[in-house]
Amino acid sequence: MAKEKIVLITGASSGIGEATAKTLVNNGHKVILTARREEQLNQLVAELGSDNAMAVAADATDFTALENVVTKGIEKFGRLDVAFANAGMGVSTAGTEKGDPDEWSTMIDINIKALLWSAKLTLPYLRETTGHFILTSSAAGRKPIGGSIYGATKWFAYGFGQNLAEEMSEWNGRCTTIAPGMVNTPFFDEAKPDKLDPQDVADAVLFAIEANQRNSVREIYLMPTN
């Protein structure tokens, strides 16, 4: 089995983050979980066991609050091997002309700024362990979608992941950008039979971090088969 990894996950209270936390612990890793919803985080820690998981509720768009998460995680586990920047959101009104600027601002804070904060705060610790940064972009960050401001934020995430991989390679760190198509999570209201499952993304994260250290899995692009 691969060496035990200490993994920080943002957006961990449901969907992809929750599935990833369970998958990693079931495969012998330990997790530091953060999201805004404290009750759900505490339930997840109770399920996974306090030896394997800890939670610190925080808003990932708040640099100081996220810094506290990283600090507390290091205090408990002593190191950080992987950071998974997964927190994100979409908007209710599509298009530029009809879009809501306030909603855009909130989305940019979580999809872009929280990603930057996560990298800025974890990189010093990842450098110490020759660690791994993983981020959730989207299939929407790889192709033009008419009027999609959400897609544009994921273009940023996609480009940032590629650039960060180059930056981290200077000290043999690894960076993986995961770009899934539509995933069946609370993120999307409409039910579609051809969505991916959060487990599919969790499996991708596990694959990336357990790959041999010589192998930097730069990108994983997932689409529903149908």
63-99: pLDDT as tens digits: 999 999 999 999 999 999 999 999 999 998 889 999 9
- Of the residues 125, 150, 158, 221, only one is catalytic, namely 150
Is there a catalytic annotation at residue 150? yes
Domain contains 64: yes
pLDDT bucket at 188, cuts 50 / 70 / 90: low
Domain contains 91: yes
Alpha helix positions (H), 109-214: 114-128, 149-169, 198-210
Instruction: Give the residue from 48, 60, 40 showing the smallest Cα distance to 21.
Output: 48
Residue 77 belongs to domain spanning: 6-222
Domain contains 151: yes
Q: Which amino acid is at 39?
A: E
Residue 177 CA to residue 88 CA, distance in Å, equals: 14
Domain contains 174: yes
Domain contains 122: yes
Q: Three-state DSSP class for 132?
A: strand
Q: Which amino acid is at 80?
A: L
Query: CATH code at 56?
Result: 3.40.50.720
Q: Where are the beta strands (DSSP E) in 1-121?
A: 6-10, 30-34, 53-55, 82-85
Domain contains 170: yes
Residue 66 CA to residue 72 CA, distance in Å, equals: 10
Instruction: Give the residue from 5, 163, 157 showing the smallest Cα distance to 88.
Output: 157
Domain contains 25: yes
pTM: 0.95
As for how many domains the chain has, the answer is: 1
Over the stretch 23-77, which tens digit does the pLDDT of each residue have?
Answer: 999 999 999 999 999 999 999 999 999 999 999 999 999 999 999 999 999 999 9
- Say what the pLDDT of residue 14 is: 94
Domain contains 1: no
